[in-house]
Amino acid sequence: MPVIDLNCPGCGGPVGVGQKECNYCHRPIYISMFNSVFNMKMPELKKELDENPNSQKANFSIAMCYWNLKLYDKALPAFEKAIEDNFDNSESFFYAAVSLLKGKKAFLALRSDIDKIIEYLNAAIMIEPRGIYHYFLAYIKYDFFERKSFNVKPDWQETLQIAIRTGVSQADVVQFFEMLQVEMPECLRV
């Protein structure tokens, strides 16, 4: 497992994943990474949602709980609620797209689900063009469209190059396929 050094964007001082403020310059720290999830306990989530049903943090956390339990049919509407609460959270769109695959290869998905996945990924990319979002799109274009001999522009190879230029890491790719629970196609290694 690779070690990641995190630094404060203000002063460059070392910070930890659980830190809310830099110890040196006291700037607030918001750590957002590909595998981030909120760590609220269920009673806290229930209380938060009872008090504020549109709490974007609580709705996203509930969605992640369902997703982590592989309850994709419950996770998807929860992510869609989180999207309604905050259109600017690219991760809600990303995880909604992942939920639509339901732990299966893209090749086995319905075309309507693939179209919705692409819609969610394009929305996530518009908000925040992360390499992993482009990579997920490249995977969809390869495993669904290329394997079924459908033409799509840009194709999976061009989309993979965009993901690489945007900065997808090998660690993100490995984690992505672990998350999907499918084997990584050899042609999609970065």
Task: Assign residue 168 the CATH number of its domain.
Answer: 1.25.40.10
Residue 96 is assigned to a structural domain of this protein? yes
Euclidean distance between CA atoms 190 and 167, whole angstroms: 11
Angle between helices 90-101 and 56-68 (to 10 degrees): 30
Residues 76, 123, single domain; the answer is: yes
Global pTM value: 0.76
Cα distance between the two ends of the chain: 17
Tens-level pLDDT at each residue, the chain (190 residues): 334 456 666 677 776 655 667 777 777 665 444 343 344 556 666 777 778 777 777 788 888 888 888 999 999 999 999 898 888 999 999 999 999 999 999 999 999 999 999 999 999 999 999 999 999 999 999 999 999 999 999 999 999 999 999 999 888 899 999 989 899 999 999 8
Residues 114, 70, single domain; the answer is: yes
Query: Tell me, what DSSP letter sits at residue 146?
Result: I
Residue 188 is assigned to a structural domain of this protein? no
Query: Tell me, what DSSP letter sits at residue 145?
Result: I
**What pLDDT, on the 0 to 100 scale, is given for residue 36?**
39
Q: Which residue from 165, 166, 164, 144 is spatially nearest to 155, judged by alpha carbons?
A: 144
Residue 15 is assigned to a structural domain of this protein? yes
Helix/strand/coil for 187: helix
Residues 154, 66, single domain; the answer is: yes
Residues 27, 77, single domain; the answer is: no
Say how many domains are in the chain. 2
Residues 10, 89, single domain; the answer is: no
Cα-Cα-Cα-Cα dihedral sign, residues 96, 115, 148, 151 = negative
Residues 66, 22, single domain; the answer is: no
Cβ atoms of 84 and 106 closer than 8 Å: no
Ordered alpha helix ranges (H), the chain: 42-51, 56-68, 72-85, 90-101, 111-127, 131-140, 156-166, 170-180
Residue 100 is assigned to a structural domain of this protein? yes
Residues 11, 98, single domain; the answer is: no
| Number of other CB atoms surrounding residue 48 within 10 Å | 17
Residues 68, 154, single domain; the answer is: yes
Query: What is the helix (H) or strand (E) element at residue 115, kind and residue range?
Result: helix 111-127
Residues 177, 135, single domain; the answer is: yes
Euclidean distance between CA atoms 171 and 110, whole angstroms: 29
> Which phi and psi angles does 183 have, rounded to 5°?
-75, 140
Residues 85, 58, single domain; the answer is: yes
Domain span holding position 14: 1-31
